[in-house]
Amino acid sequence: MTDTTVKITNSAMRGRMLREFWFYFSQNRGAVAGLVVFLLLVLTAIFASVLAPHDPTQQYRDALLLPPIWDENGRAGFILGTDAVGRDMLSRLIYGAQYSLFIGIVVVAIALTGGIIIGLVAGFFGGWVDTVIMRVMDVVLAFPSLLLALVLVAILGPGLTNAMIAIAIVYQPHFARLTRAAVMSEKAREYVTAAKVAGASNLRLMFKTILPNCLAPLIVQATLSFSSAVLDSAALGFLGMGAQPPASEWGTMLAEAREFILRAWWVVTFPGLAILISVLAINLMGDGLRDALDPKLKRS
Amino acid sequence: MSLFSTRFLAASAFALMAAAPLHAKTFVYCSEGSPEGFDPAPYTSGTTFDASGHAVYNRLVQFKPGTTEIEPALAESWEVSEDGLTYTFHLRKGVKFHSNDKFTPSRDFNADDVIFTFNRQANADDPWHQYIAGITYEYYSSMEMDKLIKSIEKVDDNTVKFTLNQPEAPFLANVAMPFVSIVSKEYADALDAAGTKEDLNNAPIGTGPFKFVAYQKDAVIRYQKNADYWGEAPKIDDLIFAITPDASVRLQKLKAGECHLMPYPSPADIADIRNDPNLKLDEQAGLNVGYLAYNTTVAPFDKPEVRKALNMAIDKKAIVDAVYQGDAEIAKNPIPPTMWSYSNAIEDDKYDPEAAKKMLEDAGVSGLTMEVWAMPVQRPYMPNARRTAELIQNDMSKVGVNVEIVSYEWGEYLKKSMEAGRKGAVILGWTGDNGDPDNFLTVLLSCAAATEGGANRAFWCNKEFSDLLAKAKSSSDHDERVKLYEEAQVIFKKEAPWATLAHSTQYVPMAKNVTGFVQSPLGDYTFETVDLAE
Amino acid sequence: MLRFILSKLLYLIPTMLGITLVAFGFIRLLPGDPVLLMAGERGVSPERYAQISAQLGYDQPMWQQYFTYLGNLLQGDLGNSIVTKKPVLAEFLSLFPATVELALVAIVIATLIGVPVGVIAAIKRGSWFDQISMTGALVGFSMPIFWWGLLLIIFFSGVLQWTPVSGRISLMYFFPSVTGFMLIDSLISGQEGAFASAVSHLILPSIVLATIPLAVIARQTRSAMLEVMGEDYVRTAKAKGLPMRRVIGVHALRNAMIPVITTIGLQIGVLMAGAILTETIFSWPGIGKWMIDSISRRDYPVVQSGLLLIAGIVMVVNLIVDLTYGLINPRIRHK
C-alpha cells in the first residue's frame, strides 16, 4: 500500500529531475553541440558498414598513398585519400569511431564498477580495510598514468583488450576515492542511520541507500574518464602498445602514418583530428553534465 | 663517481676543442641510436660498432672499404699453414694509441695488445673478463671463437700465432669484425691501477682514425681526428654523432643542414630525397635477406611441393612495392646478390595463383588454415612485417588458404619461433656479419642450427645441403667454395624451406657537398674517408 | 609544523614500500627476456642462456631476488642496466635534468599564461574573451599531444624552418655540463648564440608539454576566481567601494590561488606522462624516452628502478604541494 505511493512519487520526482537536468544542460550551448557531435559519432559507429564507401582493410594496390579528392592527384572514390597500402582513409576513420567508443565504454564500465565496489567497501567498513585499500590506491596513483598503463600493457601483451584493461586499472582509484569520500559523508546522515536501525543489511545499505546519493560526482568523473580513455588508448596505439594493425584505431593509424609525415600529410592529419573532435565533444558534454547535475561542482 | 669522471672528461675535452683551429671541418652524422657503450667486445649492435669499433679502433685485418674482401690493418701480413690450422700475423710497427687527459701511451702497439684483446674475452679467469659486473662477450661466443681458437702465442713483439682446433675458412673474416678490435693493454693496466676499470667502456683509447672526446647520453658523441693515424689521416677535423632515433626526424635534420649524412631513411621518404636538390643518395644492395620460414617438420609443410605451391602464391612484387616502397630486390636465393657465390642461374618460382592452387589440390591440400608470424620490430631487411603479413594473407586467400596473422613481443617471438613443433610460418630475416656465405647458410639453414638455440626456423635438415656447407667451410680454396655454395643454392631452391622475399636496398642520404663516403655492404658507417667540399 | 611534515613523511613509507613491490613484481611479470633480445635473430644455446641468467641473478627464487633488490636499494644501489651495463642511478641522473628542464619550462609557460587568462575570463564572465579562451582551453584539454607535436614539427620545422627538429642545442656549441640544464649551462659557457640556440630547441617541446596543464590551469583559475568573487567578504569589499583592482588583487586572487596552486602541483604527474610522448616525438634525451626504450628492451633493472624513482619524485612533489597548501591555508594546518 505504502509501496505504491512511494513509487509514484519516485517516478514523478525522476521526471522532474530529468526535466530540470535537461533545462540546465540545454542552457549550455557547448554541451549541446558536444552532445550532437557525440550522437553523430555513435551513429557513425553503428552504421559504419553502411556509411563507409570501402572495406577498411581492403587494399587497393594501384592506389597507394593517394591524396584527398580536392588535391589534383586525388582520385574520385577516395575522398580523404588512401594510406601506404592503398586502404581508403575515410572508411578507416569511420570504422575507427567504433574502436574509440568501444574503448571508452569498456574502460569506464570496468573502472566504474571496480572503483565503486572498492570505494564502497573502504568507506563503509572503514578501519584497517579502508587503510589497506587506500594505501594500495595511493601506490597506483603514485605512478604517472600513461607510464603505468604502458608497463601493464607490456606485461599483458600489446593489443586492444589489454590496453583497455590497463587503462581501466589506472583510472579505477579515482572512482574508488570519490565513492569512498561520498560514502564517508553520507554514512553519518540520518537516513542511513534510520535504514540501519530498520535492519537493512550491509549490502542493501551500500548499494541501495548510499550509492544512489553519491552518483553525481561519479557520473561527472565517468565522462571525464571516457574522454581520457579515448586519448590514452590512442597514445598507447601511437606508441605501438594499443590496438594492433591492421585495426583502424585512430592512434594506431597515426603510429603507422608517422613515417609518412613529410610525404603524405593526410595520413597524419585526419586520424589526429578525429581523436581531437571526439574527445572535445565528450568533454563539452561532460562540462554540461557537471553544471546540470551539481552546480556546486563547477570547477575543473 | 663515474658521473664525476664523465663531467671532468667533458670539461677537459672542451679545453682541447677550444684549442683547435677556428676553421675546423666538422662532420655531423645523424646516427640512429645510442651506443650501448664504447668497448666493442661485449656488445652486438651495429650502432655500438659504428661509434666505437669503427671510429676509435682497428683490427688485425679489415674489410677493404666498400667490399667484404680482407686487407691488412694492424697486421701488415699473415701466413696460413698448409693444414689451415695456424695463422701467423706480422704486426705493423710504429702504430700509436690515442691519448686523453688521463692517459698517454708510452709505447707503440704490439703483440701484448693483441693477446690481451682475445684473452679477456676467451678466458673466464682473466681479471678483465668481468671488469663490469654482468658483462658477457656475445659475439665472441656466437661466432664460436671460443671453440675455434686453441691457443694464441706471442712469437715476438710484432708476431702473433693463432692455432685453431679445425681448419675454418671464415676465420680471417671473423677477426676483421669489430668485436675483436684491438684494445691497449697499457691503458687497461693504467685503469686498473687507478681503480677506474669501467672507463675502458666510457673513455675508449684505440688506434683508429678518430679519438673519442665526449659522450652525452642519448644526445651526442664527439670525436676528433687522430693526427697520428697509421693509415691515411681523416680529412675532417671533428666528427659528431647526433643521436636521432626517429627516421623522419633524421631526414628533417639532414634537410635543415643540421647533419651531413644519415643511415636508414624511411622507405617512404626515398622519392622525396631523390627530388631534393640539396641532397644526394647513395644506394647499394644490402647484405641481407627477408624471408618466410615454413616449419618443414609439420604437415602439410613437410612436403616440398606444398611449400613450393605456397611460394608461387605470394606476389613478391607487391611486397617489394608496398612494404619496401620499391626499394628492394625480389629474393630468389637465401643469400644476397652482392655476396660472392650467389647463383644467378637459379630461376625463381613464378607468381602464379592458378598454378599454385592446382599444385595444392594435387598435393591433397584443401581448406588449409595457417598462421603467419609477423615480427613486432622493424629491421633493415624487413621494414614492416605486419604489412607484409597482411599482403601474404591477401595472396593466400586467392589460393584458398586462410591465413591468421600472429605476433609476439620480440623476445618471445624469437624464442617461440625456435620451439620445436611450432605452428605456422615465420617472417624473419638476416643481415650478414662478415660477408661470408657461411654466415648465412650455416647459421640459418644447416642441420646443426635446427635445434634449440640455433636460428634455423624452418627446422629444415637436409643432409646433402649441410654436408656441402661443412665441406666449403673447411676448404681454403676460394673457387672450390664458390662451387659448393652454388650447389647448395640449387638444393635450397628445389626444397623451398623458405619463401625468400626480398633483399632490401641500403640507402645513405647525404648533403650534396659530402665526398668520399664509401658504403659498406655490411652496413657499417665509417668516416675516415669522408670530406666536405667547400 | 614539523610534526605535520614528519607525519606526512611517515605516511609515505608504506606507499614507497608498496611501490617497490609493484615495480619489482611488474617487471618479473613482463614476458620476453633480455637475454633473448640481446641474442637477436641468431638465438642463444640453452647452456649459454643458463650461464648468462645465473650471472644476472635471475636463477634465484623470486623472494630472494626481491630482498636482494631491497637491500641494495637501502644502500643506494639501484642496479645496473642490462643493455649498457652501467649503473641505473648514473644513467637516470644524466638524463633527468633534460626532463626537469622541459617540465619546468612547460609548467612556467602554463602558469604564466593560464593564470592571467583564467582571471580575466572570470572577471569578464560571459564576454567574447571568456568564451574564446575557455573554448580554447577545452580544445587544449582534449588534445592528443603526440599528434599536436607532429603538427607543430610539420609546420614550424618543416614548412617554415623556424625551429630545429630535435635535440637540446645546436651541435656547434660544446661546453661542459655544469648544472645539466641547457639554458643555464649555455649562459655560463658565455658562447655567443648558445642560449638562443638552447631556447629555440626547447620551444616546441615545451609548448606541446604545456598544452594540457595550461588548459587545466586556465579553467581552474577561472572557476576558483568565480567562486571566491561570489563569497561574502569579496562582495563586502566591493560594497565598501574599494577599487575593483584592489578587490581582485588582494582579496579574490589570494584566496583563489589556493586551489590553483594545488592544481599546478598535481600537474607534475600529468607532465611525467606527457614527457613520455613529447620526448619520443622530439627525440629529447630525457627519462620518458629512456623508460620507453627500456621497456621495449626488457631492461629489467632500468624499468624497475626507473618506475621507483619516478613514482618517488611524483610523491615528493605532491608532498611539497600538500605542505604549501597547509602553509597558505592555515585552516588545514590547525586541523
pLDDT at C232: 75
Is pLDDT larger for residue A76 or for residue B319? B319
User: CB–CB of B35/B221 below 8 Å?
Assistant: yes
Average the pLDDT over C254-283 and give the result: 82
- For the cut 80, the answer to whether the pLDDT of residue B167 exceeds it is yes
- For the cut 90, the answer to whether the pLDDT of residue C56 exceeds it is no
**Measured between beta carbons, which residues in chain A are less than 8 angstroms from residue B322?**
59, 61, 64, 84-86
Q: Which grid cell is C101?
A: 628542464
Query: Is A85 within 8 Å of B248 when comparing Cβ atoms?
Result: no
Query: Is B217 within 8 Å of C80 when comparing Cβ atoms?
Result: no
pLDDT in tens, A37-75: 999 999 999 999 999 999 888 878 788 888 898 888 888
Residue A126 lies in a domain: yes
Spell out the residues 6+ positions from residue B460 whose beta carbon is closer than 8 angstroms to its own.
B296, B445, B450, B495, B497
User: CB–CB of B201/B38 below 8 Å?
Assistant: yes
DSSP readout, B45-56?
-HHHHIIIIIHH
- How remote is the C-alpha of A139 from its chain's centroid? 23
Spell out the residues 6+ positions from residue C261 whose beta carbon is closer than 8 angstroms to its own.
C321, C324, C325, C328
pLDDT at A39: 95
pLDDT at B20: 42
DSSP readout, C206-241?
HHHHHHHHHHHHHHHHHHHHHHHHTSHHHHHHHHTT
Instruction: Give the H/E segment covering residue B129.
Output: none
pLDDT at B207: 96
Average the pLDDT over B19-29 and give the result: 71
Place of cell 697486421: B75
- For the cut 70, the answer to whether the pLDDT of residue C263 exceeds it is yes
**pLDDT tier at C60 (50, 70, 90 boundaries)?**
confident
**Measured between beta carbons, which residues in chain B are less than 8 angstroms from residue A61?**
318, 321-322
Instruction: Give the H/E segment covering residue C85.
Output: none
The CA distance from B200 to the nearest CA of chain C, in Å, is: 12
- For the cut 50, the answer to whether the pLDDT of residue B152 exceeds it is yes
Q: Which residue of B has its CA nearest to A158?
A: B409
**Measured between beta carbons, which residues in chain B are less than 8 angstroms from residue A258?**
246, 248
Is pLDDT larger for residue B508 or for residue A208? B508
- Of the candidates A57, A61, A244, the beta carbon closest to that of B318 is on A61
Residue A239 lies in a domain: yes
- For the cut 70, the answer to whether the pLDDT of residue B291 exceeds it is yes
Place of cell 592544481: C263
Alpha helices in B20-137 (DSSP H): 46-49, 55-56, 111-122
- Classify domain C93-332 by CATH architecture: Orthogonal Bundle (1.10)
Is pLDDT larger for residue B407 or for residue A172? A172
Share of chain C above pLDDT 70, in %: 96
- CA A230-A235-A241 angle, 5° bins: 110
- φ and ψ at residue C42, rounded to 5 degrees: -70, -35
**Measured between beta carbons, which residues in chain B are less than 8 angstroms from residue C49?**
453
The CA distance from C318 to the nearest CA of chain A, in Å, is: 9
Spatial separation of the C-alpha atoms in residues B132 and A16, rounded to whole Å: 74
- For the cut 70, the answer to whether the pLDDT of residue B466 exceeds it is yes
- Of the candidates B11, B136, B414, the beta carbon closest to that of C176 is on B11
User: Measuring CA to CA, which residue among C73, C34, C212, C118 is closest to residue A145?
Assistant: C212
- Of the candidates A138, A235, A275, the beta carbon closest to that of C15 is on A138
Taking any CB pair shorter than 8 Å as contact, residues of chain A touching chain C are: 30, 135-136, 138-139, 141-147, 150-152, 154-155, 157, 227, 231, 234-235, 238-239, 251, 254, 258, 261-262, 265, 268-269, 271-272, 275-276, 279-280, 282-284, 287, 298-300
Average the pLDDT over B177-195 and give the result: 95
User: Could you give the 3-state DSSP secondary structure of residue C293?
Assistant: helix
Residue among C33, C48, C85 with most chain B CBs within 10 A, to mutate: C85
- Of the candidates C15, C146, C223, the beta carbon closest to that of A142 is on C15
Restricting to C residues 37-76, those with a Cβ less than 8 Å away from any Cβ of B are: 37-46, 48-49, 52, 55-56
Total length of chain B: 534
Query: Is A262 within 8 Å of B248 when comparing Cβ atoms?
Result: yes
Q: Report the neighbours of A using a cutoff of 3 or more CB pairs below 8 angstroms.
A: B, C
Spatial separation of the C-alpha atoms in residues C42 and C60, rounded to whole Å: 27
User: Measuring CA to CA, which residue among B519, B532, B531, B528 is closest to residue B264?
Assistant: B519
- Other C-beta atoms closer than 10 Å to the C-beta of C216 total 22
pLDDT at C221: 92
**Measured between beta carbons, which residues in chain A are less than 8 angstroms from residue C31?**
155, 157
Average the pLDDT over B189-198 and give the result: 93
**pLDDT tier at C331 (50, 70, 90 boundaries)?**
low
- Of the candidates C42, C166, C175, the beta carbon closest to that of B443 is on C42
pLDDT in tens, B426-438: 999 998 888 899 9
Which pairs from B438-445 meet CB under 8 Å and 24+ separation?
B438/B169, B438/B170, B438/B469, B438/B472, B438/B473, B439/B170, B439/B173, B440/B289, B440/B334, B440/B335, B440/B339, B441/B334, B441/B335, B441/B469, B441/B485, B441/B488, B442/B469, B442/B473, B443/C42, B444/B334, B445/B334, B445/B492, B445/B497
- For the cut 60, the answer to whether the pLDDT of residue C333 exceeds it is no
User: Measuring CA to CA, which residue among A116, A135, A133 is closest to residue A222?
Assistant: A116
- Of the candidates B266, B394, B408, the beta carbon closest to that of A59 is on B394
Total length of chain A: 300
Q: Which residue of B has its CA nearest to A263?
A: B269
pLDDT at A295: 52
Q: Which residue of C has its CA nearest to A261?
A: C154
Query: Is B222 within 8 Å of C164 when comparing Cβ atoms?
Result: no
User: Measuring CA to CA, which residue among B259, B211, B31 is closest to residue C170?
Assistant: B259
pLDDT in tens, B216-241: 888 899 999 999 999 999 999 999 99
Q: Which grid cell is B197?
A: 676499470
**pLDDT tier at A8 (50, 70, 90 boundaries)?**
low
- Of the candidates B269, B321, B407, the beta carbon closest to that of A262 is on B269
Average the pLDDT over C38-59 and give the result: 77
Q: Which grid cell is B58?
A: 682497428
Lowest mean pLDDT among A220-229, B15-24, B25-34: B15-24
- For the cut 90, the answer to whether the pLDDT of residue B304 exceeds it is yes
Burial class (CB in 10 A: 0-12, 13-18, 19+), B213: buried
Q: Which grid cell is A109?
A: 564500465
User: CB–CB of B355/B312 below 8 Å?
Assistant: yes
Share of chain B above pLDDT 70, in %: 96
User: CB–CB of A210/A153 below 8 Å?
Assistant: no
Q: Does C94 touch chain B (CB under 8 A)?
A: yes
Place of cell 575543473: A300
DSSP readout, C15-78?
HHHHHHHHHHHHHHH--S-HHHHHHGGG---HHHHHHHHHHHTTTS-HHHHHHHHHHHHHTT--
Residue B435 — left, alpha, or beta (φ > 0 → left; ψ -120 to 50 → alpha)?
left
Name the residue type at position B520: S
Q: How many domains does chain A have?
A: 1
Bridge pairing between strands B149-156 and B159-164:
antiparallel
**DSSP 8-state symbol, A82:** B
**Measured between beta carbons, which residues in chain A are less than 8 angstroms from residue C144?**
231, 234-235, 238, 251, 254, 272, 275-276, 279
User: CB–CB of C18/A136 below 8 Å?
Assistant: yes
When the pLDDT of each residue in chain A is averaged and rounded to a whole number, the result is: 84
Average the pLDDT over C43-47 and give the result: 78
**Measured between beta carbons, which residues in chain A are less than 8 angstroms from residue C130?**
none
Spatial separation of the C-alpha atoms in residues B469 and B495, rounded to whole Å: 16
Place of cell 555513435: A42
pLDDT in tens, C78-133: 888 888 888 899 999 999 999 999 999 999 999 999 999 999 999 888 899 999 99
**pLDDT tier at B521 (50, 70, 90 boundaries)?**
confident
The top-level CATH class assigned to B288-506 is alpha beta
Q: What residue ranges of chain B are covered by domains with CATH 3.10.105.10?
A: 288-506
Spell out the residues 6+ positions from residue C102 whose beta carbon is closer than 8 angstroms to its own.
C202, C205, C206, C209, C275, C278, C279, C284, C286
Q: What residue ranges of chain B are covered by domains with CATH 3.90.76.10?
A: 26-246+513-532
Residue among C37, C38, C41, C48 with most chain B CBs within 10 A, to mutate: C41
Is pLDDT larger for residue B209 or for residue A203? B209
CATH (domain of A82): 1.10.3720.10
So where are chain C's domains?
32-77, 93-332
Spell out the residues 6+ positions from residue B206 whose beta carbon is closer than 8 angstroms to its own.
B52, B56, B57, B58, B97, B98, B181, B182, B183, B184, B212
User: Measuring CA to CA, which residue among B430, B431, B488 is closest to residue B460?
Assistant: B488
Instruction: Give the H/E segment covering residue A154.
Output: helix A145-156
Residue A73, domain extent: 25-297
Describe chain C by its helix, strand, coil percentages, rounded to 5. Answer: 80, 0, 20
pLDDT at C334: 44
- Other C-beta atoms closer than 10 Å to the C-beta of A49 total 12
Q: Does C95 touch chain B (CB under 8 A)?
A: yes
Average the pLDDT over A260-271 and give the result: 85
pLDDT at B514: 95
Spell out the residues 6+ positions from residue C38 whose beta carbon is closer than 8 angstroms to its own.
B44, B138, C82, C83
Share of chain A above pLDDT 90, in %: 33
Query: Is A244 within 8 Å of B321 when comparing Cβ atoms?
Result: no
pLDDT at C330: 56
Q: Which range is most confident: A138-142, A183-187, B107-111, C252-256? A: B107-111
Q: What is the ipTM of this complex?
A: 0.84
The CA distance from B481 to the nearest CA of chain A, in Å, is: 42
Query: Is A85 within 8 Å of B391 when comparing Cβ atoms?
Result: yes
The CA distance from B355 to the nearest CA of chain C, in Å, is: 34
Query: Is A276 within 8 Å of C147 when comparing Cβ atoms?
Result: yes
State whether CATH 2.40.50.140 applies to domain B26-246+513-532: no
Lowest mean pLDDT among A38-52, A273-287, C41-55, C198-212: C41-55
pLDDT at C159: 81
- For the cut 50, the answer to whether the pLDDT of residue B7 exceeds it is no
Spatial separation of the C-alpha atoms in residues B334 and B445, rounded to whole Å: 9
pLDDT at A300: 35
Residue A132 lies in a domain: yes
Strand order in the sheet with B26-31: B26-31, B238-243, B220-225, B210-216
Q: Does C86 touch chain B (CB under 8 A)?
A: yes
Helix then strand count (H, E) for chain A reads: 12, 0
Q: Which range is most confident: A246-250, A278-282, C44-48? A: A278-282
Query: Is B409 within 8 Å of A85 when comparing Cβ atoms?
Result: no
Lowest mean pLDDT among A165-174, C194-203, C322-331: C322-331
**Measured between beta carbons, which residues in chain C are less than 8 angstroms from residue A174?**
none
Total length of chain C: 335
The CA distance from B247 to the nearest CA of chain A, in Å, is: 7
